[in-house]
Amino acid sequence: MHGSPLPLPVAMLIVFGAAKLLGEVFARLHLPPLAGEIVAGALVGPSMLGWISPNEVLKALSDLGALFLLFSIGLEVKVADLLRVSAVAAAVAALGELAPFAAGWAVFTAWGGTRNEALFVGAALVATSVGITASVLAERKLLNDRASQIILAAAVIDDVLGLIILAVVSSVAGGHGRLAGVFLTAVLAMAFLAVIAFWGPALVRRWLPSFRSRARADEAEFHIALLLLFALSALALYTGVAAIVGAFLAGLALAAHVDKRVRTLTRGVSELLVPFFLAGIGLNFDAAIFRSKRTVALALLVLAAAVASKVLGCGAAALSLGWRNALRVGAGMVPRGEVAMIAAQLGLTTAVLSASAYSVIVFVVVGTALLTPLLLQITFAAPGGQESRQQASPGT
């Protein structure tokens, strides 16, 4: 299985089939199906059954799955709703960066790691992976909840801040001191977010009806939606933001102006691709981490710090909403993903991180992805959940 890649249909059969099978099993056990799809990736991956290994094709499918997931979420959210909670979301994002960075740095420093290693671990823990949370919120029809809107807005800001922190840490660890370039990237990233969030929907409102009246091709409106999805994802990358943020903003710009058919087609594509994103998280899990008791202890300690720092840091910034909503916001900001893996890969290739430290970060990514659906299920099932949804509904 490890020598040469499997034929594409076979690889897709294994990953998609295992993800949907485990998702069904988890649903029957009254557990989040999303967690089952992540476990499926670990089960069929190289660390366990060894049926399939991560490769460029599966990574491409995973990346597309993440893009379509965030695009479909954006189509269900209104810009006005996010702008109403922008002040709280900014505070959530800021505290949600500082607390995890300090926690990761402190744990690795206390464990005896080097300064640069501790900095990289801290940087790996800062940014939330909004894809996991967004998927759970959409599945439970909670996107219009006020806490959910804060999570989505904060996660977009959080992603930008996380990449900036990683750039700063890389400069410090490498002794390059290119902080002027980091500042320029930060300005470009913030400008991109502001322009698309404030003026994107207005431009679509003016331009889309004209296109709709002139187009003759079948599904022409879906085609233009896809073009906007890929264009903003590409622009996001070139301005120093994760592509999934561009995908979310594309959906946000189109949300109030596309017909039901576009949403239906988007959901169909998402149903195909999102399992590859979720299973892809599990595929990267390395069971070899359990061979050393010391590494296991460190991994569990960092995982606990990763969860607690987001719940407490982000929750503290959202206390004005009441403690139940603060817990929901904190739980929704827990999962780590793209930025953590980028930090881990960068640290490993530059010899700043040891192999065990790299494995710890991957363990945290998988662990937080599995814990988040359970935390959201618990916090949104708490008394007052229905009340918060009713309070949010007038503004939707």
Task: Name the residue among 2, 61, 8, 56 with its Cα closest to residue 275.
Answer: 61
> Which is higher by pLDDT, 59 or 156?
59
Contacts of 386 (CB under 8 A, 6+ apart): none
Task: Name the residue among 106, 17, 39 with its Cα closest to residue 374.
Answer: 39
CA distance 249 to 233: 9
**Tokens coding 24:** 């069904």
CA distance 366 to 369: 5
Domains and CATH numbers, the chain: 8-285+292-395 (1.20.1530.20)
CA distance 149 to 142: 9
Q: What's the predicted TM-score (pTM) here? A: 0.75
CA distance 81 to 375: 24
Please state the rounded mean pLDDT for residues 151-171. Answer: 80
CA distance 227 to 299: 41
C-alpha distance across the termini of the chain, in Å:
50
Contacts of 286 (CB under 8 A, 6+ apart): 47, 359, 362, 363
Other C-beta atoms within 10 Å of 196: how many? 22
pLDDT digits (tens, 9 = 90+) for 130-150: 788 888 888 888 888 889 999
Confidence bin at 183 (pLDDT 50/70/90): low
Three-state DSSP at 140 gives: coil
H runs (alpha helix) in 76-178: 79-84, 86-111, 115-124, 130-139, 146-174
pLDDT digits (tens, 9 = 90+) for 76-113: 877 777 778 888 999 999 999 999 999 999 999 999 88
What is the average pLDDT value for the chain, to the nearest integer?
83
Residue 33 pLDDT exceeds 70 = yes
Predicted pLDDT at 298: 92
- Quickly list DSSP for 248-285: HHHHHHHTTTS-HHHHHHHHHHHHHHHHHHHHHHHHT-
